[in-house]
Chain A
Amino acid sequence: MTFTDWVAQAENYVFLAIAIPMLFSAWRVVASQNVVHSVLYLVGALAGSAALFLLLGSEFVAWTVVLVYIGAVVVLFLFGIMITRAPLGQDVELSQPLRQRLPAAVVSGSLFLLMTGAMFDAFGGDVIPETEATRTFDVGISIFERWVIPFEVVSVILLAALVGGIVLARRDPDEMTEEVVSESEEVPQ
């Protein structure tokens, strides 16, 4: 694929229009000094990935990202920040000293170079074939026939996660009786 071919494709501009803001918000997620802002930038990065999935013709995955990640997981993140005592404003402790930043930059930079090199080596000259979008029905077929066991296992994982979460988050019954005693003074006279 030559550069002129690349310029001639409308999809490539759409890709750039999605990818550049996505990169920016991904950068802000880690660089922002305010945790709440980080979460909001994460929404941008996730929305970008959903748009990329749409561009590749996987609608089901795209809307899953929107519903589950942007809709639910980000809300969970915000709740997590609210429940813990993380300071809401700027947090100077979030910025690391140079001696920690430098090795991290070296490691992530070299990993990035390695990955990009390997990616180019594997798929460098390939053109993504223009196929029909994957229909949700076909996704359903693979879930309910081929991968029915992992599908059922997922429901057990969800069940276990919630049961364990309740055990860890709730107070033990003997602490609750203390609560009754302490709150009895608040009963309206």
Chain B
Amino acid sequence: MTLADYLPIVLMAAVGIGFAAVSLWLSWRLAVNNPTPEKLAPYECGIVPLQEPVERFPVKFYLVAMLFVIFDVEIIFLFAWAVRFEQHGWAGVAAVGIFVALLIETLIYVWKRGALDWNVARRERYRTVVAERLEESQRVGEAA
């Protein structure tokens, strides 16, 4: 593959960048531009933040991001195998199979440990409260 083969890709990229640039330029030309400090604030109609929040994001987001990275790396290796998997033969299937099996164990582990479960605590509590109320209302109904 020589550089010339990338010409369509370069053209495509040029068209994409050009479209974005033209759109931005047009909206800048056509729109009324009258900024005030309030309008430039991140949340224009929200309450004015007094301080930086203690925790912007729960750590749980980070776990999801880590899972994403790990399976992203897996995809890369699978890609190298999948382009011509029949020529790698059963040895290739075995190698990839072990690799994927270990990563599936990752997924099982994460699942079982409840790292994919958001706010278990509150949901559990909610369930018990709802169940109690149901029971109570039934008892009240029976009494009536």
Contacts and interface: CB of A to CB of B under 8 A. Distances in A.
A155 B52 contact: no
Nearest to B70: A158
B87 A79 contact: no
A163 B66 CA distance: 10
B103 to A, nearest CB: 6
The secondary-structure label for the interface of chain B is helix
B87 A137 contact: yes
Contacts of A72: 65, 68-69, 72-73
A68 interface: yes
A54 B52 CA distance: 43
Interface stretch (B19-27, B29-37, B93-101): B93-101
Interface string A155-175: 110110111011001100000
Nearest to A81: B56
Contacts of B57: 79, 82-83
B56 A68 contact: no
B28 interface: no
B3 A10 contact: yes
B66 A159 contact: no
Contacts of A130: 2
A140 B78 CA distance: 9
Contacts of A87: 52
Interface residues of A, number: 55
Interface stretch (A31-39, A110-118, A144-152): A144-152
B78 to A, nearest CB: 10
A180 B65 contact: no
A37 B77 CA distance: 31
B67 A67 contact: no
Nearest to B109: A163
B38 interface: no
Interface of A: 10-11, 14, 54-55, 57, 59-60, 64, 67-68, 71-73, 75-76, 79-80, 82-83, 85, 87, 130, 132-133, 136-137, 139-141, 143-145, 148, 151-152, 154-156, 158-159, 161-163, 165-166, 169-170, 176, 179-180, 183-184, 186-187
